[in-house]
Amino acid sequence: MPPLNGAPSWFKEARETPCPVHAAGRGRHHARGYVDRSLDNITSFTKRLIAMDNGTGGRGALQSIEPSARLFGLLAIALAAAITAHSIVLGLIILATAMLALGSRVGLVELVKRTAPSAVFAFIMMTPAFLGFIFPGEETLPMGPSAYKTALTSSQAAYGAPSVFFFVSRVVAVVSLAALLSLTTTPGALFNGLKRLKVPPLFVATLFMTFRYLFILLTIAEDAALAGKSRTIGRADTASSRRWFASRAALILKKAMNTADEVGMAMASRGFTGTFKTFTGPPLVGRDYLWIGFSLFVFFISLGF
Amino acid sequence: MHIPDGYLSPKTCGLFFAAMLPVWYAASRWTMRSPGFKGFPLLALGAAFSFIIMMFNVPIPGGSSGHMTGTVVLGIVLGPWAALIAGSITLALQALLFGDGGILAFGANSFNMALIMSFSGFYIYKALSFGTPGRVRGIVAPAVAGYVAINLCAFATALELGAQPIIAVDPQGVPLYAPYSLAITVPAMMIPHLLFFGPIEALGTALVLSYVRKQEITRHENAAYGGISTLMVGLLVLILLTPIGLIASGTPWGEWSVAEFSGLTGFVPAGMARLGEMWPGLAPDYGQAGQASVLVKAGYYVLSAIAGSAIIVFAIYLWGRLCRR
């Protein structure tokens, strides 16, 4: 075997583990490089986009409702969940959401997966409330400087735990309704719904184009990350890693602006003058009115409780 | 930084929606009429860029990494109004399709992350990179813009969350929404942003802008936002409007003299008593004579405004001369 005199030191090292790609830093925590992490982010986001574009328009209770009515109804119920100060109303909204999910052939597991991160975050954020330093009550054990006065209070049972439960329930209710909207509505239907709800056409058209361009820019970003990965064998230092990030970000920005120019010219050449012409969707039918009535009923109930 | 639903009361959400509606309207009018602006495909691509840039991890010293928002980059490259719309579009997509940030809290999130970040980032950058910035200022200006903008955004978020226990409680005084007071939300938001997220945004903005300048990627037309003459006219109008302050009666909140503070609270802290009246200023009360007529007082106001502006402009000129490298 010829000697490796001219080879760089990293080439002579025997490693049993796969080479970390562009990993800045040391230790187990940084075993995966930031390019890998960026690639992971891009890949998982692309999968979500594709799933969203293709897989949310199945047949079910909510899917059968006209998109603008669906959007209006879910927003009205979300507003009701945000307004109510009564835990029973909140519980009923959560129950109704679960039933709607089942009726719309959205698995409860999927709904829980979408809602759980927000619920867990809200619970962790509210954990100090168990110590009672947020809610009124008689101090039993004062702690800390006055600005952050902390006290175990006699009111924990009355205020702390129920308040935490109520707050987390509210977050679960609203977030699960938002999740239900995205799980039962394709982006195209959502944008149509927004149009019928009189959201300005500029805003809706930009939303729609943004969603479409995401695929293009994601491809560019993925190519850039893969190119970085394939050209790197050893461990890159932080400075060169930063340079790589900046050059890729600027590249994506430049491509985005070039694409915008091309699309703008294509639109102008096809006669676009800044006026948005949109198709009117089918008229609302009985079940749409029924759904709107139900959601308004929940909304008005929440005003009284 | 995205405020989820359930944390802000409906009236707070409604207030921010109401506040943002005219801003969005103005932004769409301004953007579409800006010379050199290529229409809404650029807004869509800007929003998509903001989305994508969040997926790239920015390596920071020490081996860790995080992601930037990209709003300040958009503000500098596209201009603040276009960045405001692109940022709002990004937030709308995140809320509607990905459940990231609240749908009801969309107005508040747009106010914090689109309006505050794009405008503060753009104007801080413009202030620091006037003239022909050299290499150092070319890096420092976007870095400071990114750092300050994201911290202003975090501060606004902290204020909104911290206001909830004041404005939304049940009859027993128990908070109905975000329960922590300002004494908790401000440090909870600001410490991580000052120490971690701020440096990431600063570093990311500076790095991307350095390549943007190298490749001359810019869509923002200075003319659209007014040149120096527009700025001077604006400054002159503001100077002439300063006598409006005479209409206000009483002392602004928090600007009490020692005597007024004593009258309000019944005591004077030792430090305030020692330092409060130490130096009354070059022209106390803007040099007004106590019993002078309104016209004379207005004249003093205008003269004070001219003097103050001149001193600041001269200081910035000196600073610019010193930093021109």
Q: Is 70 exceeded by the pLDDT of residue A183?
A: yes
Distance CA A109, CA A102 (A): 10
- Other CB atoms within 10 A of residue B114 CB: 31
**Nearest by CB to A247, which of B13, B92, B211?**
B211
A26 touches chain B (CB under 8 A): yes
Residue A269 Cα, gap to closest chain B Cα (Å): 13
Q: Which of A28-37, B93-102, B218-227, B266-275 has the lowest mean pLDDT?
A: B218-227
Q: Which residue has the higher pLDDT, B243 or A250?
A: A250
Are B66 and B116 found together in one domain? Answer: yes
* % of chain A residues with pLDDT over 70: 70
* CA atoms within 13 Å, Cβ hemisphere of A116: 6
- Residue B82: CATH number of its domain: 1.10.1760.20
pLDDT at B20: 94
| CB-CB under 8 Å, B51 with A210 | yes
At position B220, the amino acid (one-letter code) is H
Are B67 and B187 found together in one domain? Answer: yes
- Other CB atoms within 10 A of residue B7 CB: 26
pLDDT (mean) for A115-125: 87
Place of tokens 């009859």: B171
Q: Which residue has the higher pLDDT, B305 or A169?
A: A169
Helix (H, G, I), strand (E, B) or coil at B249: coil
Tell me the pLDDT tens digit for each residue of B221-265: 444 444 555 556 666 777 677 666 666 556 655 666 777 777 777
Are B241 and B204 found together in one domain? Answer: no
Burial (CB < 10 A; 0-12, 13-18, 19+), residue A109, is exposed
**Nearest by CB to A210, which of B62, B93, B175?**
B93
pLDDT grade, residue B96 (50/70/90)?
confident
At position A260, the amino acid (one-letter code) is A
Are B188 and B250 found together in one domain? Answer: no
Q: Is 60 exceeded by the pLDDT of residue A28?
A: no
Interface of B with A in 178-197 (CB under 8 A): 179-181, 183-184
**Nearest by CB to B176, which of A42, A85, A207?**
A85
Last residue of a domain, one of B176, B207, B224: B224
Q: Which of A26-40, A187-201, B187-201, B217-231 has the lowest mean pLDDT?
A: B217-231
CA A105 to chain centre: 21
pLDDT (mean) for A21-44: 59
Residue B201 in any domain: the answer is yes
pLDDT at B21: 93
Q: Is 70 exceeded by the pLDDT of residue B287?
A: no
Residue B113 in any domain: the answer is yes
Residue B1 in any domain: the answer is no
Q: Which residue has the higher pLDDT, B67 or B144?
A: B144
Of all residues in chain A, the one with the smallest CA distance to B49 is A253
Helix (H, G, I), strand (E, B) or coil at B8: coil
| CB-CB under 8 Å, A118 with B99 | yes
Are B190 and B86 found together in one domain? Answer: yes
The C-alpha torsion from A76 through A82 and A85 to A91, rounded to 10°, is 70
Are B111 and B210 found together in one domain? Answer: yes
pLDDT grade, residue A155 (50/70/90)?
very low
| CB-CB under 8 Å, A245 with B56 | yes
Q: A175: which chain B residues are within 8 Å (Cβ-Cβ)?
A: 4-6, 99
- Other CB atoms within 10 A of residue B77 CB: 24
pLDDT at B265: 73
Distance CA A6, CA A165 (A): 66
| CB-CB under 8 Å, B103 with A75 | yes
Distance CA B258, CA B299 (A): 27
pLDDT at B322: 66
At position A297, the amino acid (one-letter code) is F
Residue B5 in any domain: the answer is no
Residue B314 in any domain: the answer is yes
Q: Is 80 exceeded by the pLDDT of residue A68?
A: yes
Structure tokens at A77: 């119920």
Are B219 and B317 found together in one domain? Answer: no
A257 touches chain B (CB under 8 A): yes
Tell me the pLDDT tens digit for each residue of A75-111: 999 999 999 888 888 999 999 999 999 988 888 888 8
pLDDT at A114: 86
Q: What is the 3-state secondary structure (H, E, C) of B266-300?
A: CCCCHHHHHHCCCCCCCCHHHHCCCCCCHHHHHHH
Residue B275 in any domain: the answer is no
pLDDT at A46: 73
Residue B119 Cα, gap to closest chain A Cα (Å): 20
Structure tokens at B96: 């509607």
A241 touches chain B (CB under 8 A): yes
Are B191 and B251 found together in one domain? Answer: no
What range does the domain containing B318 cover?
229-255+281-323
Tell me the pLDDT tens digit for each residue of B163-217: 888 888 877 777 888 888 888 888 888 988 898 888 888 988 888 888 877 766 5
| CB-CB under 8 Å, A27 with B96 | no
Are B14 and B137 found together in one domain? Answer: yes
Are B86 and B213 found together in one domain? Answer: yes
Tell me the pLDDT tens digit for each residue of B301-310: 778 777 777 7
Distance CA B307, CA B291 (A): 23
Residue B92 in any domain: the answer is yes
| CB-CB under 8 Å, A175 with B4 | yes
pLDDT at B284: 67
Of all residues in chain B, the one with the smallest CA distance to A266 is B41
Handedness of CA B18, B23, B26, B28 (dihedral sign): negative
B211 touches chain A (CB under 8 A): yes
Q: Is 50 exceeded by the pLDDT of residue A149?
A: no
- Long-range residue pairs from A87-92, CB within 8 A, at least 24 positions apart, any chain: A87/A162, A87/A165, A87/A166, A87/A169, A88/A305, A89/A301, A89/A302, A89/A305, A90/A166, A90/A169, A90/A170, A90/A173, A91/A169
Helix (H, G, I), strand (E, B) or coil at A142: strand
Q: Which of B73-77, B286-290, B316-320 has the lowest mean pLDDT?
A: B286-290
User: A131 has which bridge partners?
Assistant: none
In total, chain A counts a number of residues equal to 305
Q: Which residue has the higher pLDDT, B238 or A115?
A: A115
Last residue of a domain, one of B224, B242, B264: B224
Interface of B with A in 34-73 (CB under 8 A): 38-49, 51-53, 55-65, 73
In total, chain B counts a number of residues equal to 325
| CB-CB under 8 Å, A27 with B179 | no
Burial (CB < 10 A; 0-12, 13-18, 19+), residue B282, is exposed
Q: Which residue has the higher pLDDT, B77 or B57?
A: B77
Are B295 and B215 found together in one domain? Answer: no
DSSP state of B105: T
Burial (CB < 10 A; 0-12, 13-18, 19+), residue A257, is buried
pLDDT (mean) for A154-167: 64
* % of chain A residues with pLDDT over 90: 14
CA B111 to chain centre: 10
pLDDT grade, residue A139 (50/70/90)?
very low
Q: Is 50 exceeded by the pLDDT of residue A144?
A: no
| CB-CB under 8 Å, A163 with B207 | no
Q: B179: which chain A residues are within 8 Å (Cβ-Cβ)?
A: 126, 129, 134-135, 163, 167
Residue B271 in any domain: the answer is no
pLDDT at A201: 80
| CB-CB under 8 Å, B215 with A250 | yes
Number of domains in chain B: 2
Are B87 and B211 found together in one domain? Answer: yes
pLDDT grade, residue B101 (50/70/90)?
confident
Q: Which of A223-237, A281-295, B296-310 has the lowest mean pLDDT?
A: A223-237
Q: A241: which chain B residues are within 8 Å (Cβ-Cβ)?
A: 59
Phi (first) and psi of residue A152, to 5 degrees: -75, 125
Tell me the pLDDT tens digit for each residue of A50-67: 776 665 556 788 888 888
Q: Is 90 exceeded by the pLDDT of residue A205?
A: no
Of all residues in chain A, the one with the smallest CA distance to B43 is A206
pLDDT at B221: 46
| CB-CB under 8 Å, A263 with B56 | no
pLDDT at B111: 94
Distance CA A300, CA B7 (A): 21
* % of chain B residues with pLDDT over 70: 75
